[in-house]
Amino acid sequence: MADALNVYLNESLGGRLREERGRLFFAYDRGWLDSGQFIPLSVTMPRQAEEFPDDVTRPFFDNLLPEGDIRTAIAKLKRVSERNTFAMLEEIGGDCAGAISLWPEGEEPRKNEGYSAVSDERLNKRLADMQKRPLLVIEDELRLSLAGAQEKLPVYYDGAQLFLPKGSAPSSHILKPGSPGFPHMPANEHFCMRLAAALQLPVPVSAILRKPSPLYLVQRYDRSTGLDGTLTRIHQIDFCQALNLPSAKKYEKEGGPGLPACFDVIATYSTQPAKDRFNLISWVIFNYLIGNADAHAKNLALLITSEGISLAPFFDLISTAAYPELTLNLALKIGGENRPEWIQKRHWEAFAGVSGANPRIVWKTMAEISAAIKQKARELLSDPGFEHDERDMLAKVCSLVGARATRLTQFAKTRGHV
């Protein structure tokens, strides 16, 4: 195992991560500190020459890694402990969320070697073997890491063909297969993302690929495309990283951040707080309407560039209520209540208070989204891109959306916004 890992932001050496007696330490590279292009690794790691201690370093880097069964399976395949953050990053930290890649000290980062095409046959073989070998380790020589507990794979997509990145080549999209036990998950997520877009929420473009089994494909918002088509990574951190919390604390009920803390992140760090606060308000209302009970702190992120810090486009929008075996209780309480059927006008009033926005804006936003969402959902349901069985499931989502929108419309009406 290496003694240290060099941390790169795009092609620039940003600093050095080292492990000593089980503790992690990070220090910025002097050249990066003096660079006119400097951006911090995290809002918890401001510009300084001194090394950051374990209690700051570990939460940030551990949040770059997969979670749950996927992390366990990768650790087993790589023959390292799943709790050993340093060893895991050494194995799979070559392409992480945002602009970060990690390489063993003394080893030059591999050059951008382009992309290798993935045939449908090869992809389906890997999908069939997914329970034994997670997609993130689809090839032994690839070092890919994405946070979260769902199967996913960073890919390059040119509009017709899927490719795997080689060397330091950046991916352009994230590919997610269906989840065993949860039917039509790709259709569910694609529908909810398109519905959000129809309501003017900031979300990346998504699609369903049929290979022939349905796969959810979403464009990476942490990438920018130059005039020559070259992809560049954009740095991002999730809200657990922004709050210096481990991924195990992503749920409010387990000691993680609630909505007050999420709005505090915007108020403290965003360079466009009014816009980001409005979008976060819309996100909370939208997730309530579609029945997304799994909207937690790691499903929110900040983009960090030389121009400023802003709330990232939204992702992982899914109607978890479509699956009876999953809890309906919200990951983030609204006005102190996480049971949707118990949420009353007073809870939304409390939510408006913690948002930091003028309450009139909150009620107006609620009224506008609730008024538009039912028709937009019905229009999307008729999209011929969805298959018959998928449409049956999505019809149930539309029914839930309609019932909850009616409820919110009534609340907003009593406030004079309908």
- Catalytic site positions: 294
Sheet hosting strand 301-305, strand order edge to edge: 235-238, 301-305, 308-311
User: By the 8 A CB rule, do 189 and 150 touch?
Assistant: no
Instruction: Tokens for 44, please give them.
Output: 């918890």
Instruction: Tokens for 37, please give them.
Output: 């292009």
**Backbone φ/ψ region at 12: left (φ over 0), alpha (ψ -120 to 50), beta:** beta
For residue 101, give the nearest of 165, 193, 12, 203 by alpha carbon. 12
Q: What is the identity of the amino acid at 294?
A: D
For residue 156, the tally of other CB atoms under 10 A from its CB is 23
The Cα-based distances of 112 to 88, 143, 165, 170, 201 in angstroms read 22, 13, 8, 8, 34
Any idea what DSSP says for residue 322?
G
3-state secondary structure of 311: strand
Instruction: Tokens for 367, please give them.
Output: 């009224």
Distance CA 418, CA 412 (A): 6
For residue 257, the tally of other CB atoms under 10 A from its CB is 24
3-state secondary structure of 295: coil
User: By the 8 A CB rule, do 177 and 215 touch?
Assistant: yes
Any idea what DSSP says for residue 238?
E
User: By the 8 A CB rule, do 340 and 291 touch?
Assistant: yes
Distance CA 172, CA 220 (A): 6
Helices (H) and strands (E) in the chain, counts: 12, 15
For residue 118, the tally of other CB atoms under 10 A from its CB is 21
Residue with tokens 């983009």: 303
Distance CA 237, CA 98 (A): 7
Residue with tokens 């009406």: 413
